[in-house]
Structure 1
């Protein structure tokens, strides 16, 4: 009886073909998974960039309110921002204290730091939202607890802590001829930076 070599060759070729299909399927799965991962990373990066660019505060102007301790910050949310709660808008202010608060001699310069958020206003009702729309002509003005996109607001920022140990108020900056750094952060969004220089500590003076 003659051996049927053609059948054996056919079975071997079929095994090789099936193996190639399996390898191709595994390779395709890896490629698809990698592509999906890259797409997700790109989407996440794009979303984060959008949040940082749009979810931030634009400072319009800063004025002296109470020369002893308070500034009025005029601001609005950046274009494309969502409405933002007052307690989600955080601020920090830093300034130099040349004599270290009077410690010494010799005097050792220190950095004063004060922080808060836009829900901890000073006046007229301390402890309540202090965001007031600029177009509000009522007396007393109506405070709100959410900043809406496209609306300009003002906020009273107290730059002196309760014990006067940390002081970046207008009088301090003017007397010491120093500058302060103001940072405003939006939770889940971006940050804004501005430098405050008081050339005139009288109420209503523009801070540059």
Structure 2
């Protein structure tokens, strides 16, 4: 999945900028590389199913298992990198994911999802491990998040979308817009 996303990271970056007119092409490239290669290297050795920790001293163990179907809501601002990232972590934890893409970024996110889905299937994952809603809308996102077959929500978007995810009564991880703090060391050349 990672290699497939990396192979098309430039194409996906261009599609995202062309489709929604947001962001800078080179920045989208960086995000796609980070969401695929960096994330892969940070999670590749993680055990996510079965006994993940065995503490003989306290006579206990931690056992992980898939949570079930994940609803993935993606934004218009960084659509392809978010799709790659959510696909990787879902499949790594053996959970299928169904996406509700932002309407202004549907084509590029469908392509990103198709690329990683096809690679996952080629590697032996189930055929329907990564799916998406064909006709995106706010209503479709709401229906997906509230569907009885959905077990967890990964929502990235505006405050309203994140609040909706948290209001479903299901486990939800929500991420909205935000600025990151930066420390600029005094010897930095700011020119």
The TM-score normalised by the length of structure 2 is 0.24
More helix by share: 2
Rg larger in 1 or in 2?
1
The TM-score normalised by the length of structure 1 is 0.23
